[in-house]
Amino acid sequence: MSNVPPCPAPVSVSAATITPQPPAASSPVSPATVPPQCPAESAPVPVRGSFTVPLITGGVFTESCPSGCTRDHALDARGAFLEDLYHQFGEPVSTTVPVFDAGDGTAPMPILAAHIQVDPYSSEARLRVPHVVLEPAPDDVMECLDPVELGAVIAQVRAHCDRLDGVLARLVAARAEYEGA
Ligand SMILES: [Zn+2]
């Protein structure tokens, strides 16, 4: 594992965020002798923040994840176009509704799935900053929503839920009238 870098200095941590540790009077070792916190050498873990990509167009590219990236880049490590590289922030969110299909029967179908990503080498400037990818339904995608655009979609869906509340109220009334007739 000669490519495993030595334990990095905590350069990414702002000094303002470091909480001073009070001296432990009973500590058997001086704080100066405490080694930096590194993964145990017997159990090296992959460095999540950096990976190499064999480019389909030729060459190898080393990419570093931005802070907060949660994407598993294992697929990228098999080969990719530089333009297609993206980082993801957090896990996708979605909900499901039971939808009937003549072939498969009733099964949960994800709707309104969303996640945040950034495509740092895209030819489109909109994709080179964090944006939301929203899938209203499977195989349908809105691939780049900025905060204003996502807010508009949320407002539209919320307004539609209000209309569905109206449908619900009318359904209850229709049943009462139907059964009372
Ligand atoms: Zn990443």
Using the mean position of ligand 1's atoms as its centre, give its distance from the Cα of residue 117 in Å: 9
DSSP one-letter string for 105-158:
EEEEEEEEEEEEEE-TT-SSGGGGS-EEEEESSTT--EEEE-HHHHHHHHHHHH
Residue 172 lies inside a defined structural domain of this protein: yes
Within a domain: 38: no
Answer whether residue 1 is part of any domain.
no
For position 49, what pLDDT does the model report? 82
- Token duo for residue 162: 């209000």
67 Cα: distance to centroid of ligand 1 (angstroms): 8
Whether 112 and 155 map to the same domain: the answer is no
Residue 93 contacts by C-beta under 8 Å, 6 or more apart in sequence? 113, 114, 115
Average of per-residue pLDDT across 23-39: 43
- pLDDT value of position 180: 86
Residues 124, 84 share a domain: yes
Instruction: Give me ligand 1 centre to Cα 153, in Å.
Output: 27
Give the pLDDT of residue 48: 59
99 or 21: whose pLDDT is higher?
A: 99
Q: Is residue 6 part of a domain?
A: no
What pLDDT does residue 51 have? 93
Q: Does 62 share its domain with 139?
A: yes
101 and 162 belong to one structural domain: no
Same domain, 68 and 92: yes
Q: How many domains does the chain have?
A: 2
Task: Find out whether 68 and 89 touch, Cβ atoms under 8 Å.
Answer: yes
% of the chain surpassing 90 pLDDT: 68
Ligand 1 center to residue 74 CA distance, Å? 10
114-171 pLDDT, tens per residue?
999 999 999 999 999 999 999 999 999 999 999 999 999 999 999 999 999 999 999 9
Both structure tokens of 87:
């980082």
Q: What is the pLDDT of residue 1?
A: 39
Q: State the pLDDT at residue 181.
A: 74
Residue 120 lies in a domain: yes
Quote the domain boundaries for residue 62.
47-145
Query: Are residue 116 and residue 72 in the same domain, yes or no?
Result: yes
Same domain, 125 and 154: no
Pair 89, 173 in one domain: no
Whether residue 171 sits in one domain with residue 113: no
- Centre of ligand 1 from the C-alpha of residue 68, in Å: 8
- Residues constituting the chain: 181
Question: How remote is the CA of residue 101 from the centroid of ligand 1, in Å?
Answer: 37
Per-residue confidence (pLDDT) for residue 39, from 0 to 100: 43
Structure confidence at residue 128 (pLDDT): 98
Please report whether residue 16 resides in a domain: no
Distance in angstroms (rounded) separating the CA atoms of residues 84 and 68: 19
Angle at 109 between CA 69 and CA 86, to 5 degrees: 20
Residue 17 lies in a domain: no
Separation of CA 116 and ligand 1 centre (Å): 12
**pTM exceeds 0.75, yes or no:** no
Same domain, 156 and 77: no
Centroid of ligand 1 to alpha carbon of 102 (angstroms): 40
How close is the Cα of 81 to the center of ligand 1, in Å?
15
- Cα–ligand 1 centroid distance for 96 (angstroms): 27
Asked if residue 30 belongs to a domain, the reply is no
Q: Do residues 92 and 141 both lie within one domain?
A: yes
Residues 163 and 123 in one domain: no
Contact partners, residue 54, CB within 8 Å, separation at least 6? 60, 77, 78, 79, 80
